[in-house]
Amino acid sequence: MDLIIRNANLPDGRVGIDIGIKDGKIAALEVALTAKAQKEIDASGYLVSPPFVDAHFHMDATLSLGQPRLNQSGTLLEGIALWGELKPHLTVEAIKERALRYCDLAVARGLLAIRSHVDICDPRLLAVDALLEVRKEVAPYLDLQLVAFPQDGYLRDKGAAKLMETALDRGVDVVGGIPHFERTMVEGKKSVEVLCRIAAERGLRVDMHCDESDDPNSRHIETLTAETVRHGLQDRVTGSHLTSMHSMDNYYVSKLLPLMAEAEMNVVSNPLINITLQGRHDTYPKRRGMTRVPELMDAGVKVAFGHDCVMDPWYSLGSADMLEVASMGLHVAQLTGVEQMKSCFRAVTEIPAAILGLEGYGLEKGCNADLVILQAADPVEALRLKANRLFVIRRGRVISTSAPAEAELNLPGRPKTQNYLFQ
């Protein structure tokens, strides 16, 4: 073996497991593995998980906070206006530099796969070219999947249709859209139909900003579901945000959820950004700005949590920490049952990995040796503590380490150290 991780707890409840790694793959998972290795890591009963996966991000805008100015109101519309002001000043070099800095941050957080939307509503396609270069550069240590995203609307922006084709021809992975931002509901519906047809013809996945609104009449998810079935795109289509579902009446949703499950739709909720950008026009009672995460999960729809933004025109906070994202989703969606909390951990690991179609992901023999050792005993404790990533491993190679979190106490009659774990 090249590497053995000893005495690991796994997310599925297995404890005291040794993980043998050879040639970048998991070669063994068993108690008291007798093999020897060039290097061993004692997990000491901490949680070993597959890496975190972010199914919804905007890497072309990340870390641009303050350019050209700060979003003083914190609103979606001011963020869109700021991005419009920034776009003429973008360069390939600047986008690459910010994106690579973010990837460094992601690796340190155990985040080794990201689906990033990239704005194509710029005739120069600078962001597309920049992130295609970044995708190639980070490939040894991070999987970056790109979505061709018509930020200004596929039909609303005069050049978007041609730019979409060009971006896909250059190698962008996924077809994106934003139907609720088109001029009318009718045009929004048409954009969904056209974009799903393009994806079907090209054999690509679809990921749409869909119904990112408080408007209960924004029902483009219905069209997206129907087009998924019509084109045979099952399990290749994702509706992101879907915040309008929090405003829909229960009767309509009772019809919609089974249709989404039948179509094998995927959903990405983005708790941090959703709850800050939605509900802005409410006094009280005030909507939470999320989609119906528990109901979607109960219906059998795959639901992941995404980070969406980090320090950009729309969101001045964020840290690339998917445990922060999952924790916020857990609280806002009221997913506090034991199994529900475990599902929130899966919503930032195995579920988004399935949505992205990542091959070789998981904790089974033959899977890629992509692992994170967390300073926590189990997934719930990891969520509670936003646990330190002690080791981050890519294809069997340690690519990031962090010291355990521990405080030294000076209290009479009390322990000398505190590691925040519940023992």
pLDDT value at residue 288: 87
Average pLDDT of the segment spanning 106-127: 97
Least confident of 94-108, 278-292, 324-338: 278-292
Residue 423 has pLDDT above 80, yes or no: no
Distance CA 123, CA 415 (A): 63
Average pLDDT of the segment spanning 175-186: 97
The contacts of residue 140 (CB under 8 Å, 6+ apart) are: 394
Q: How far is CA 305 from CA 51, 147, 270, in A?
A: 14, 17, 5
Per-residue pLDDT tens digits for 391-405: 999 999 999 999 999
242 with 271: CB under 8 angstroms?
no
pLDDT value at residue 422: 78
Residue predicted with more confidence, 423 or 401:
401
Residue 415 has pLDDT above 70, yes or no: yes
Per-residue pLDDT tens digits for 338-391: 999 999 999 999 999 999 999 999 999 999 999 999 999 999 999 999 999 999
Encode the chain in three state secondary structure: CCEEEEEEECCCCCCCEEEEEECCEEEEEECCCCCCCCEEEECCCCEEECCEEEEEECCCCCCCCCCCCCCCCCCHHHHHHHHHHHHHHCCHHHHHHHHHHHHHHHHHCCEEEEEEEEECCCCCCHHHHHHHHHHHHHCCCCEEEEEEECCCCCCCCCCHHHHHHHHHHCCCCEEEECHHHCCCHHHHHHHHHHHHHHHHHHCCEEEEEECCCCCCCCCHHHHHHHHHHHCCCCCCEEEEECHHHHCCCHHHHHHHHHHHHHCCCEEEECHHHHHHHCCCCCCCCCCCCCCCHHHHHHCCCEEEECCECCCCCCCCCCCCCHHHHHHHHHHHCCCCCHHHHHHHHHCCCHHHHHHHCCCCCCCCCCCECCEEEECCCCHHHHHHHCCCEEEEEECCEEEEECCCCCEECCCCCCCCEECCCCC
Report field, pTM of the whole predicted structure over 0.85? yes
Q: What's the maximum distance between 2 C-alpha atoms anywhere in the chain? A: 72
Identify the structural domains of the chain with CATH numbers, from first to last: 3-50+362-408 (2.30.40.10), 52-356 (3.20.20.140)
Q: Which residues are catalytic, by number? A: 212
32 with 90: CB under 8 angstroms?
no
pLDDT value at residue 209: 97
Strand ranges across the sheet with 266-269: 52-57, 111-119, 143-149, 174-177, 205-210, 237-241, 266-269, 302-305
pLDDT value at residue 76: 84
Distance CA 26, CA 207 (A): 31
Question: Tokens representing 14?
Answer: 């297995």
Whose CA is closest to 271, among 218, 233, 309, 234? 309
Distance CA 384, CA 330 (A): 10
Per-residue pLDDT tens digits for 3-48: 999 999 999 999 999 999 999 999 999 999 999 999 999 999 999 9
Average pLDDT of the segment spanning 189-218: 97
Average pLDDT of the segment spanning 239-255: 96
Residue 155 has pLDDT above 80, yes or no: yes
pLDDT value at residue 77: 84
Q: How far is CA 39 from CA 1, 12, 22, 387, in A?
A: 8, 25, 11, 24
pLDDT value at residue 72: 92
At what angle are helices 126-138 and 92-108 packed, to 10 degrees? Answer: 40
pLDDT value at residue 132: 98
Distance CA 180, CA 189 (A): 9
Average pLDDT of the segment spanning 128-145: 98
At what angle are helices 220-230 and 185-202 packed, to 10 degrees? Answer: 30
Average pLDDT of the segment spanning 134-142: 98
Residue 80 has pLDDT above 90, yes or no: no
**Bridge partners (DSSP) listed for residue 269:** 305
Average pLDDT of the segment spanning 329-333: 97
Give the number of other CB atoms < 10 A from CB of residue 411. Answer: 8
Per-residue pLDDT tens digits for 270-279: 999 999 999 9
pLDDT value at residue 251: 97
